[in-house]
Amino acid sequence: MSQGKQSPNDTAPVAGRRRFLNTAALASLAGIAACTDKTKAASPAAAAAPHAASGEASATHLKPGELDTYYGLWSGGHTGDMRVLGLPSGREILRIPCFVPDALVGWGITNESKKIMGTKPDGSLRYTVGDSHHVHASYKDGNYDGRYAWINDKINSRLARIRLDYFVCDKITELPNVQGFHGIFPDKRDPVDPAINYTTRVFCGAEFQIPLPNQGQATDKAEQYRSMFTCVDAETMEVRWQVLIDGNCDLTATSYDGKLAATNQYNVESGVHFEDMMSAERDACLFFNIARIEQAVKDGKFRTIGSSKVPVVDGTRAANADPKTALTAYVSVPKNPHGVNASPDGKYFICAGKLSPTGTVIELAKVLDWFDGKLEKVDQAIVAEVELGLGPLHTAFDGRGNGYTTLFLDSQVVKWNIEAAIKFHAGDKTAKYVLDRIDVQYQPGHVNASQSETVAADGKWLAVGCKFSKDRFLPVGPLHPENEQLIDISGEKMALAGDHPVRGEPHDFIIFKRELLRPKQVYALDDFPLAVKDPKESGVVRNGRKVTVKMTSQAPAFSLREFTVKKGDEVTLILTNLDKVEDLTHGFAIPKYNVNFIVNPLETASVTFVADQPGVFWCYCTHFCHALHLEMRTRMIVEA
Ligand code: RUQ
Ligand code: CUA
Ligand code: CA
């Protein structure tokens, strides 16, 4: 379809090679893009006049002491954490460890964090690597409600939840029977009960197809490799159900009425080799009818796979040909799409083309019509398929009817009007849908705007995750930072407002108004079952070879000056920080025992270790807390 289209009335005529990318062209372009700047020269819009900065852009430079107006929650990529940025300044304020140990807070060291991360029978961490991609937060009435954020780990198929009152990870769930867990999105309300106008589910797409169950059988039979779409309960974090599908899942979006979730599919071919995944001209955007799936699970129309107890319903094409009973609908979109995003007016999902230079607009009301038997073919839900540029990946929104799509190969963001694109697609060739293009530095992946996928999209700021920074920062050897750029989108023209180096490698992020969160700055003592509530409770309690050491901290001292254990004891040390003052954190390090963690105001944390080395060990406070911080120590004596 895209090949038959006339070029839009863009800044320059669309050259033939821009119409469609075959595999070879993509490979060569990607090569060029990654190592030189030739893509800029090849791009017609790159020659356009530089964009004038508008007044808003200077707001990125906050005066000392001024606070940002937006929070940004960023994925940390393979550092396996979530990062909190203040915007528009771009300052990194916090890293929240989830999937990977963290040396500052003792994540993966304390018993509490190990329990969340998951351990092997010997007590060691099950995983110490992660690859976090996607960050989304819980909704109420179509806007963020400040309860939770979620982030995925692609390597080990884990979903982590962050409490947005304390900015800590409180639960991690590993999805069964999937690999390459990529896109996530919370639902925005319940499809059936109108009273439930907030997030109760998180949907998770699995990118890689694997033999099911994956126990070593039939590994050579590619036709038996399958992928699944998973629903996790937002409160309990238990897996509710899975849908067996044809093809694979990449990214995920949800509708504002709670009725639909979708995933873009780049491998409908179910290829196990690179070339096979690009053999079909079109792939799909796969829709899930949430109410029907939940009903099928209730009615017992499911099976289970392997040792997992999770209900698996059948979402394959063959089983869902009748719209009246279908759980799924496969909408055909051009070759190897990436990114599916929900417009803030609730009407459309946008699929970016990746190997096709197009954006596809799918009207959700029409998808629902198909499920109701009122639309003959589900592909009729496509209301636009228009050219945007080379390598479209992700789309953000300004709440004024415009989409902002990253063009990986063109190193640009293109601003386009969705209703104009629909008119153009319907035959009105005078409809000018491309409104602006801006060069970014360089090769952008994710893009998101302030409040973008909420009903409160405000069209102020656009952040662009540039995968290559090349010459934008002081050279620091072969590993370059990535460049998170900030663009002012409040005017008609986009204006570049700032470069921000970030450690590799964030993928997705969300940006929202600071008023939506009310973080707590001090813990509640009673929230910790092990809390040592009074310094008088401090001491050493022996139970055979198991020893419990209870201690409190109050600047500048620990409640015990020393404590004694015997070589070979299994020691559990519990530390409660009784300081109630905001920002008064203590650390606790034990030399030679690989122990270091912190306790924030009124927090309790514990560690367990075997006292296998006799001697005197000065346990000291690692977090600067007081003028006598250096003196804040206790002695662990391990008797031979
Ligand atoms: S996907 S750009 Cu996870 Cu686009 Cu990273
Ligand atoms: Cu307590 Cu430093
Ligand atoms: Ca494909």
DSSP-assigned letters across all residues of 379-429: GGGEEEEEE--SSEEEEEE-SSSEEEEEETTTTEEEEEEHHHHHHHHTT-T
| Cβ count within 10 A of residue 126 | 13
Domains and CATH numbers, the chain: 55-98+131-278+285-516 (2.130.10.10), 525-639 (2.60.40.420)
| Confidence class for position 218, pLDDT limits 50, 70, 90 | confident
Which residue has its alpha carbon closest to ligand 1 atom 3?
Answer: 133
* Structure tokens given for 98: 């989830």
How high is the pLDDT of residue 222? 79
The contacts found for 114-119 with CB under 8 angstroms, 24 or more apart, are 116/169, 116/170, 116/171, 116/172, 117/172, 118/172, 118/174
Q: State how far the Cα of 14 lies from the Cα of 296, in Å rounded to an integer.
A: 48
Per-chain mean pLDDT for the chain: 92
Reply yes or no on whether the pLDDT at 5 is more than 80. no
CA-556 nearest atom, ligand 2: 1
Ligand 1, closest atom to CA 338? 4
User: What confidence tier does 220 reach under pLDDT thresholds 50, 70, 90?
Assistant: confident
Q: Whose CA is nearest to atom 1 of ligand 2?
A: 586
Residue 216, classed as helix, strand or coil, is coil
pLDDT over 80 at 424, yes or no: yes
Q: Whose CA is nearest to atom 5 of ligand 1?
A: 507
Rounded to the nearest whole angstrom, what is the distance from the C-alpha of residue 247 to the centroid of ligand 2?
54
CA atoms within 13 A on the CB side of 189: 17
Q: Which of 185, 248, 394 to mutate to test the pocket of ligand 1 (most atoms within 8 A of CB)?
A: 394
Residue of the nearest CA to atom 2 in ligand 1?
445
Alpha-carbon span 503 to 91, nearest angstrom: 13
Question: 584 in ligand 2 pocket by Cβ < 6 Å?
Answer: no
CA 466 to centroid of ligand 1, rounded, Å: 11
Quote the ligand 1 centre to 460 CA distance (angstroms): 23
Collect all residues with Cβ–Cβ distance below 8 Å to 133 and sequence separation of at least 6: 75, 77, 151, 152, 154, 182, 183, 507, 508
pLDDT digits (tens, 9 = 90+) for 602-627: 999 999 999 999 999 999 999 999 99
Q: Are 232 and 202 in contact (CB under 8 A)?
A: yes
pLDDT beyond 60 at 44 = no
CA distance 35 to 483: 16
pLDDT of residue 138: 98
621 Cβ inside 6 Å of ligand 2: yes
Q: Which of 439, 464, 438, 437 is nearest to 450 (CA)?
A: 464
Nearest C-alpha neighbor of 489 from the set 75, 108, 62, 51: 51
3-class state of residue 279 by DSSP: coil
Percent of the chain with pLDDT over 90: 87
pLDDT of residue 12 exceeding 70, the answer is no
Which residues have C-beta atoms less than 6 Å from ligand 1?
Answer: 133-134, 182, 338, 393-394, 445-446, 507
pLDDT (tens digit, 9 = 90+) per residue, 152-172?
999 999 999 999 999 999 999
Which residues neighbour ligand 3 (ion) by CB within 5 Å?
266, 283, 336
Using DSSP's 3-state secondary structure scheme, residue 38 falls into helix
pLDDT at 388 over 50: yes
Query: What is the number of the ligand 2 atom nearest to the C-alpha of 632?
Result: 1
Contact at 8 Å (CB) between 106 and 596?
A: yes
Q: Encoding tokens for residue 165? A: 């009152």
User: Which atom of ligand 2 has the smallest separation from the CA of 623?
Assistant: 2
Contact criterion met (CB below 8 Å) for 184 and 150 = yes
pLDDT single digits (tens) 345-361: 999 999 999 999 999 99
Cis peptide bond N-terminal to 556, omega within 30: yes
User: What's the pLDDT score for residue 58?
Assistant: 58
Contacts of 237 (CB under 8 A, 6+ apart): 159, 161, 171, 172, 173
Question: How far is Cα 6 from Cα 144, in angstroms, rounded to an integer?
Answer: 40
Structure tokens at 147: 């309860």
Q: Cα separation of 385 and 520, whole Å? A: 46
Give burial (CB, 10 Å; 0-12/13-18/19+) of 499: middle
- Measured in Å, residue 250 CA sits from the centre of ligand 1 at 9
Residue 621 CA, closest ligand 2 atom number: 2
Atom of ligand 2 nearest to the CA of 586: 1
14 pLDDT more than 90: no
Structure tokens at 288: 């899930």
Specify which residues 562 forms β-bridges with: 635
Q: How far is the CA of 605 from the centre of ligand 3 (A)?
A: 49
Query: Nearest Cα to 288, choosing from 251, 315, 256?
Result: 315
β-strand 239-245 against 312-314: which pairing, if any?
parallel
pLDDT digits (tens, 9 = 90+) for 491-550: 999 999 999 999 988 999 999 999 999 999 999 999 999 999 999 999 999 999 999 999
Distance from the alpha carbon of residue 355 to the mean position of ligand 3, in angstroms: 9
